Amino acid sequence: QYVTFLFNEVEEPVFELDGVYFENTIRRAYDDEIIEYLEKTNRSTYNLIEFVATDHEGYPLKEIFELKFGSFAAMRFPPTLHFGEVIDDFVLTPRALDLGMNKLKGVEKKGPKKYQLMSIKFDIPFLDVALLNDDNDSRRYLFGEDQSQLMCHQFLRDEFRLCFESVKLSVERNTPPESVQQQISALDEDHSSTFRYGPAIQGGELLLTIGHIVSTLRPLNIATPLLRIDDLDMKGFLYLAGISPSTPGVTKGKQVTS
């Protein structure tokens, strides 16, 4: 019912929430979803079985990834948190697990990877994010100039704070990879050269709605906020992609481990 995350040597939880609901299912794609995908191919003929993940009967499949938080979630970033180490942990751990699982499975012949129709949904009723800093005034008020006490007790205060209420995020992956390449290339204002992106491109059509956003900056508080936004509605495309190694002139990078 209650989840907390601790990073590095930080005493207080960096992330905590009072509940989480996760569901990952796969179903047959609806007719309108298939039609929408086909309309984006710009081809007169298109073999779905060859390019899209299907079931044993050749019918396109759609994966539904859904994550819902409880009534409250909080993120606290103290000044001693080393983001580089945290990012390394998140990036390297899945790679190590994937490498270990592949070794356990042995050598397995894999066919060409097919595009997976997918719907990703996040629901966060309330999210409180705070950037913390050392509160030396409180230390001196309680312990004076006793250095032994000052070193043993950590006092932090909110320097910058963001509160989000009724956050709903959805990403629809129903666009053919060649169309995604065209969309990303069109966003590049430098047309002197053409890049190819991938091989894996994450993201899709984005829909983000937030009921309320409140931001405070010390010494302001919730009663006198720095910023307040109500009923935010954002639509567009969100893609996370690197330059493909198949792009002419691109040199393959070296793996860096920490």
What integer pLDDT is reported at residue 241 of this predicted model?
Answer: 80
Residues 6+ apart with CB under 8 A from 4: 13, 15, 16
d(CA 220, CA 151): 28
Give the model confidence (pLDDT) of 192-230 as tens digits.
Answer: 777 888 777 888 899 999 999 999 988 877 678 888 999
Give the model confidence (pLDDT) of 63-82 as tens digits.
Answer: 999 999 989 899 888 876 66
Q: Which two tokens stand for residue 24?
A: 């990952």
**What's the mean pLDDT in 104-132?**
82
Secondary structure of the chain in HEC code, one letter for each residue: CCEEECCCCCCCCCEEECCEEEEEEEEECCHHHHHHHHHCCCCCCCCHHHHECECCCCCEEEEEEEEEECCCEEEEECCCCCHHHHHHHHHHHHHHHHHHHHHHHCCCCCCCCCECEEEEEEEEEEEEEEEEEECHHHHHHHHCCCHHHHHHCCCEEEEEEEEEEEEEEEEEECCCHHHHHHHHHHHCCCCCCCCCECCCCEEEEEEEEEEEEEEEECCCCCCCCCEEEEEEEEEEEEEECCECCCCCCCCCCCCCCC
Judged against a pLDDT cut of 70, whether residue 244 lies above it is answered with yes
Judged against a pLDDT cut of 60, whether residue 153 lies above it is answered with no
Q: By the 8 A CB rule, do 216 and 160 touch?
A: yes
If pLDDT is split at 50, 70 and 90, which confidence band does 28 have? very high
d(CA 127, CA 240): 24
d(CA 133, CA 130): 10
User: How far is residue 92 CA from its own chain's centroid?
Assistant: 16
